[in-house]
Structure 1
């Protein structure tokens, strides 16, 4: 009996102790949200808090922010968040609200009907420079003898540093900056029978930070390199072609020249054996006599034949 009275007294005392926190002039006062924090990964900023519990009643939340400009030049004005006005979820994506690498104050309050709670403000201002950058997802493939990489699309602020190399002792890594988002990118033409490895990291220029490299992925190119004997044979054939082709072209030119434009050899009878001055000195009427004297009949017959 005594224990029951003690228990009843404790319950009543606890109940009366809670009344001032929920009643002010007969009106229910909502407690302010607690445990405020910002989780930022890959430049995506999520503002969170513990939900306010009222049995069988829907609670809504409103979020406001204050950047360096509002704090210094606009008399500490608070601006409502773009996406979190009377939201039911105890979280808010403030990525679009935080547009500069400066300190931002964030606050939230709860609403129940016409009643609102007090504002709860983030204890430490948030700067997007503190975001956590994770290694990117990537897919390394081969298209014939082409080494191809595809990277996830993290947004316009991101670019990727891709390192690739031939998997052999002493080989040098090649670095390529990739800004393409979600589109396959060609890295290098691979040699048959070789293995190539690729790794990548994210980089955000506006905050001057980069992630760690992800785990390297390797692909092997099928096929064998040309044997030494085959390579030597190919070299000999090339040299023969280099010599034979110009020689053949020169020979064909000679054949065409003498076939189309042969050299005419004058017979001995048409060759001038006497002095040209003697032939010129002959009168026109004595041409036949001169010709007969120079060219015997046997020579003329041979020329006609």
Structure 2
């Protein structure tokens, strides 16, 4: 058994206390040094608002007083940059901005884990960086906007999808929902044409958006359409029926008004045509009179329309001639 003298124990305790005091002193110096560099507090409540593949980084503005507008800057790194000791990426639209949000939808272009940071600046004073880790596959998907129209016996389904998502469309007869026909729409496809549907049958449609990772949104509310077919009679269309009814009512109202307000003599003037008469210039006022003369007569009388008669010497030159 080794016996340690009391002076030796005291000396060891003194050395331990000396080391602890020195460490505390160095820590105080370091804290004082960092407080001189980071004089602003970091932005608080930093979170990613990601909805339908639209990614917006948000944070709470600083409450400390600043003689000028507080500006914020954002930077990020993906798995590729971190694995290759690459630099931090600075989105140009999010450098020294006065508002407290930054849209990174087109910057986060892969399904990798990103480290995203933000800091505040008041003149020459800067805060430390603070941030979070985010993967765009964690976005929240909502049911898409869907529009269903009918052209003959073809259904046209239009869906407004988020970026890099596909759509799953289900079509079924209204009375047979347990046997739907499932169709898929690619990223670029906007309209789906569903053909070969049975006429005189009501079909229903619903849709959801799906990520490549398998994550999906809820389905939209069903939309049902009655298939009339390409050769369906026009009267089956509601607009045609409405126009036809209105036209018949107007025609019936006009006929009733005509029967009530039309008097016999005025109606006769409408339906009985007047007898046509020739113009006065085409009517002979006096008939032409032609006398047959013989060589023994001395005078000739010729009567024409509006000309009177000629006698005596005026017609002596006509002797020896006969007129029929």
Taking structure 2 as the reference length, the TM-score comes to 0.54
Shift of 1:102: 2.1
Contact 2:171–2:182, Cα closer than 8 Å, also in 1: yes
Report the counterpart of residue 266 of structure 1 in structure 2: none
Report the counterpart of residue 107 of structure 1 in structure 2: 117
Establish whether residue 88 from structure 1 lines up as the match of residue 98 from structure 2: yes
CA distance in 2, matches of 1:170, 1:48: 43
Shift of 1:139: 0.7
Residue aligned with 1:69, SS: helix
CA distance in 1, matches of 2:188, 2:77: 32
Provide structure 1 residue ranges, at least 5 long, that are not aligned to the other structure. Answer: 1-20, 227-305
Contact 1:59–1:112, Cα closer than 8 Å, also in 2: yes
What is the count of residue pairs matched by the alignment? 197
Which has the larger Rg? 2
Summarize deviations over 1:113-144 as a string: whole Å, max 9, x none: 2322221222xx21222111222110111123
Taking structure 1 as the reference length, the TM-score comes to 0.57
CA distance in 2, matches of 1:170, 1:29: 64
Identify the match of residue 201 of structure 2 among 194, 205, 211.
194
Summarize deviations over 1:58-77 as a string: whole Å, max 9, x none: 111100112222222216x3
Establish whether residue 134 from structure 1 lines up as the match of residue 145 from structure 2: no
Report the counterpart of residue 74 of structure 2 in structure 1: 63
Computed over aligned residues only, the root mean square deviation of the Cα atoms, in angstroms, reads 2.9
Shift of 1:28: 10
Summarize deviations over 1:185-226 as a string: whole Å, max 9, x none: 311244333111001111122x33222222111112348x99
CA distance in 2, matches of 1:62, 1:138: 38
Shift of 1:92: 1.0
Establish whether residue 118 from structure 1 lines up as the match of residue 118 from structure 2: no
Summarize deviations over 1:199-254 as a string: whole Å, max 9, x none: 1111122x33222222111112348x99xxxxxxxxxxxxxxxxxxxxxxxxxxxx
Residue aligned with 2:82, SS: helix
Contact 1:103–1:126, Cα closer than 8 Å, also in 2: yes
CA distance in 1, matches of 2:199, 2:118: 61
After TM superposition, the structure 1 = structure 2 runs for residues 1-305 of structure 1, keeping only pairs within 5 Å, are: 29-53=39-63, 54=65, 57-74=68-85, 77-122=87-132, 125-155=133-163, 157-169=164-176, 172-179=179-186, 183-205=190-212, 207-222=213-228
CA distance in 1, matches of 2:184, 2:130: 43
Summarize deviations over 1:265-296 as a string: whole Å, max 9, x none: xxxxxxxxxxxxxxxxxxxxxxxxxxxxxxxx
Contact 1:150–1:182, Cα closer than 8 Å, also in 2: no
CA distance in 2, matches of 1:103, 1:180: 23
CA distance in 2, matches of 1:82, 1:216: 43
Provide structure 2 residue ranges, at least 5 long, that are not aligned to the other structure. Answer: 1-31, 233-324
- Give the ranges of 4+ consecutive aligned residues of structure 1 lying more than 6 Å apart after TM superposition: none
